[in-house]
Amino acid sequence: MNLLFEPVGLAHYLVVGAILFVTGVVCMATKRNAVGILMGIELVLNGANMNFIAFATPGLRADEGLSLGLDGHMVALFVIVLAAAEAAVGLAIVLSFYYNHLTVDVDEAEELKG
Amino acid sequence: MDLTTALPVLLATAWLLPLGSFALIVLFGPWMGRRGVGAGYLATGAIVVSFVLSLIALLGWLSHHPIADAGHHAAETVEHGHEAAASHAAPAEALKPVAGDWYALGRFGSLAITIGYYIDSLTLVMFTMVTLVASCIHFYSFGYMHEELGIVTDPLVRKANGRLLKRKGRFHRFYQYLSLFCFSMLGLVISGNVAMVFIFWELVGICSYLLIGFYIERKSASNAANKAFIVNRVGDFGMLIGLMVLWSTLGTFSFGGIFEQVRPADAGHELIVPDGMVHAAAADEIEQITLTAATPEEANQAIETATPGWRNAGYGQWLLIIAGLGIFCGCVGKSAQFPLHVWLPDAMEGPTPVSALIHAATMVAAGVYLVGRFYPVFTPEVLLVIAYVGCITLFMAATIAITATDIKRVLAYSTVSQLGYMMLSLGVGGWLAGLFHLITHAFFKSLLFLGSGSVIHACHTNEMPEMGGLRKKMPWTAYTMLTGCLAISGAGIPLLWGLSGFHSKDSILAQLFSFRIQNSVHGNILFWAAAGGAAITACYMFRLWYLTFAGKPRNEHVAQHAHESPAAMVAPLVILAVMAAIAGWKVPFTNVGVDTLIGQSRPVGTELGVGANTAVAVMPAERLSHEKPIHNTVSWIAFFTALAGFLVATVFYGVRRLDPDDVRKTFGPVYTFLCRKWYFDELYQLIFIRPVMVISRAVAAIDKHGLDWLADNSARFVKWISRLDEWIDRLLVDGLVNQIARQTHRLGLALRAVQTGNIRQYVMAIAFCTVTLFVVITLYWSYIMAAGS
């Protein structure tokens, strides 16, 4: 089976979602810049969003016709809102960190080391 | 207001005022005025108001129960003789005591304990006497206890470092105890039942204890207080037995209830053994009847019919005697009668006003009062015992008083002796004479004590050989005391007139003479002992006066410092001297006097005397002693015995014609015998105190070597066990807990390394772990599902 020759379906969405997710995780794990990490988090969240949307496809549901089938979209919307809130809080933390350390290098943040 | 409602209210107020004063002084005494002087004003005010109320009550009584004219009375006595008794009983009925209950303390089965009152003329006279004497003594104490207002240096107490003891004055405490005493004494007099009498009996006892031990730092004072208290307990033990007999057989404590059963109206108020006592003694017969009878009603009927027979056979007689002797036993303790007289002379360790109030005028007379109050219950046997005890006491104490040199001790033995007179008089049927003497004695003896206090205050010594010639220095004290001496000796013009003691002592001797006519053996012993006692009384009283006031000063130092006492002390002396002179007189142109007033309360049924139909002894009717042949003879006998005593004292101590030292040498053994107080203290030391000491020493030894050993060793054992326990605790229990904590700590330290604080490592760890988890679940999914199904 070769995805490249298939019509666009669920699998393709999932692949895009997975790529987004992994990219985000790698971004979080490698960036020393705090803003970069926040961007990685956005990518992870959007990867997850892709999955929610993808699985919301009407043909995949056992209760098709009985419900509106909008739960996946709803959750995705929540995640977007959540991401916005998270970004706001996260940027505030980064700013405050900058005021205290005059840098946004997360390796400098080791006060909570055990 | 009606008399029956007014009297209890008046007397209760008079009774409770000193209690209020006591309570206030207890709470605020030290802060009342300068150094607590206000406590004295408060207590004095309370007792003076009490006196006024008592006097109002007495006058109220008199206005309702007027006393018949003397002429009428005498005519009746002469014309009707014995037959007059019947007509006498009628007015006696009308003079019922005002009795009742204020408050019920509790009811236990059929036993009711109440706060009640029993008011008749005797109660009222006692109230007036007690409050009057107490008022005088309260005033007097302002002078006598003046030193207590500041810092007191006790000359008789040395501290361990050899210095004299200095302490804060206790003026307010003195008045506090006086108030408590007045309350207790008045409560004792007003009591309507024996249980209440017993309560106040103990209260006056504790006041006496507190006041004897007022100078508590003096070893002798605290010993004397203990002695008074313990000796009184002996008497109270007998009293408790009497109370138990009375209650268990009669089922009541109230005076009225007891008298009704002992002298029922349908038996003509003759003394009979009450049904309760007969039944208690005939318990076996009653059990037989109850077993054989068909129904309870029938049994009761049979018991009722058999009761008179049992009574005539003498059943229960012994219970009545025990009850009487028991009550008398308490009176022996309180009134310092032989053989429990030993506490009273030692009680002189207390301040002199206390000796005057408690140990001369009131508390010690309470025993006589109770015998008088309980008179209807006493059988001839008991009365004879009372008479002999009184007789022994009066003679013995009088002889001891001759040799005593401590001025207060002379008076103490004189008190014991006079109390013996009262008991003797009551014992031979002289109910009125005995109680009359109680009242007159209270006045002249408190006067004598206050006089001696005045002397002691001036001389700072109790020893008469140190005094002498004081009459010029302190004339008021000397001549008021002379009045007291004359009163106690019974000075007067025979058949006509005399000081108070003349009237009361003459009536006692007259009663004894009348007793002697009917009982030859007992009568002779008792009469001549009493007459001899009268001579000795005059002798020791004038010896006291001569040694103290007459002649030349024997100790210049003492005489120089002597001075007349302040007005606060002299005024009570004058008041009491007047009372000592006139207490025996009638109010002019009437027949109202202390004796006729008390006579109104004569217990119903005793007018004709006691024991007329027994073989034991006959206590003749008191009225007989007023008849001319008896009265005239006795008046002359009394006069000459007293005169003899006075002359002896004058020859030895007044004009010094004979030297007392010569007599002392001639009668050496007798003198020593009297000086050692008939060896009573030594005797009691030998037969009571020493055995008790031996026993207590043995008990102490057992305690020390037996019980203590046991206790010590068990303690040692427990200590050993607990040490073992501690070891287990520390090693095992604590070890376990500590080890857990230590390992947890170590684990925490190890895990600490994981927390690097590096965010990228955390992300990597999360990602790695997630992937690992995912892979593991994927690989083993089938196994998990298989296990699930």
**Cβ atoms of B637 and B512 closer than 8 Å:** no
Q: Once rounded to an integer, what is the mean pLDDT over residues A26-41? A: 90
Phi, psi angle pair for B102, to nearest 5°: -95, -40
Nearest to B767 among A25, A107, A111 (CB): A25
Cross-chain Cβ contact A114/B756 below 8 Å:
yes
Q: Is the pLDDT of residue A36 over 70?
A: yes
More confident: B728 or B629: B728
B313-328: pLDDT as tens digits: 888 888 889 999 999 9
Nearest to B763 among A28, A111, A114 (CB): A28
Q: Give the dihedral of Cα atoms B769, B770, B773, B774; nearest 10 deg.
A: -150
CA distance B197 to B123: 13
Cross-chain Cβ contact A114/B760 below 8 Å:
no
Q: Flag whether A4 is in a domain.
A: no
Q: Flag whether A113 is in a domain.
A: no
Residue burial B551-567, b: 16+ Cβ < 10 Å; e: rest: bebebeebbeebebbee
| Structural domain that includes position A90 | 9-105
Q: Tokens standing for B193?
A: 């039942």
Nearest to B755 among A25, A29, A114 (CB): A114
Output the pLDDT for position A5: 83
B646-655: pLDDT as tens digits: 988 888 887 7
Q: Flag whether A35 is in a domain.
A: yes
Q: How far is CA B261 from the centre of its chain?
A: 28
Output the pLDDT for position B725: 93
Angle between helices A34-55 and A71-101 (to 10 degrees): 180
Q: Which of B217, B256, B216, B208 is nearest to B236 (CA)?
A: B208
Nearest to A113 among B756, B760, B764 (CB): B756
Q: Is the pLDDT of residue B85 over 60?
A: no
Q: Flag whether A3 is in a domain.
A: no
Q: What angle do CA B563, B568, B572 make, to 5 degrees?
A: 105
Poorest-pLDDT segment among B134-148, B444-458, B607-621: B607-621
The DSSP symbol for A103 reads -
CA distance B526 to B291: 51
Q: Which of B341, B401, B238, B241 is nearest to B684 (CA)?
A: B341
Q: Is the pLDDT of residue B94 over 70?
A: no
CATH of the domain at A58: 1.10.287.3510
Sequence length of chain B is 789
Residues in contact with A73: Cβ distance below 8 Å, sequence separation at least 6, in sequence order: A52, A53, A56
From residue B56, alpha-carbon distances to B13, B47, B59 in Å are 12, 14, 5
Output the pLDDT for position A1: 64
ipTM summary value: 0.83
Q: Which of B627, B390, B434, B484 is nearest to B635 (CA)?
A: B627
Output the pLDDT for position B256: 86
pTM above 0.80, yes or no: no
For B763, the closest chain A residue by CA position comes to A29
Which residues on B lie below 8 Å from A114 (Cβ)?
A: 751-757
Q: Nearest CA of chain A to the CA of B712: how many Å?
A: 59
B163-218: pLDDT as tens digits: 888 888 888 899 999 999 999 999 999 998 888 999 999 999 999 999 999 988 88
Q: Is the pLDDT of residue B136 over 50?
A: yes
Q: Flag whether A110 is in a domain.
A: no
Look at residue B399 and give its three-state secondary structure: helix
Q: Is the pLDDT of residue B401 over 60?
A: yes
Pairing of strands B492-493, B497-498: antiparallel
Q: Flag whether A60 is in a domain.
A: yes
DSSP letter string, B185-228? HHHHHHBSBHHHHHHHHHHHHHHHHHHHTTSTTSHHHHHHHHHH
Cross-chain Cβ contact A114/B754 below 8 Å:
yes
Q: In the block, which residue shows the tokens 């020859």? A: B651
Q: Is the pLDDT of residue B83 over 50?
A: no
The answer to whether the peptide bond before residue A58 is cis (omega within 30 degrees of 0) is: no
Q: How many domains does chain A have?
A: 1
Arithmetic mean of pLDDT over chain B: 86
Cross-chain Cβ contact A113/B757 below 8 Å:
yes
More confident: B752 or B615: B752
Paired with B272 in beta bridges are none
A73-90: pLDDT as tens digits: 999 999 999 999 999 999
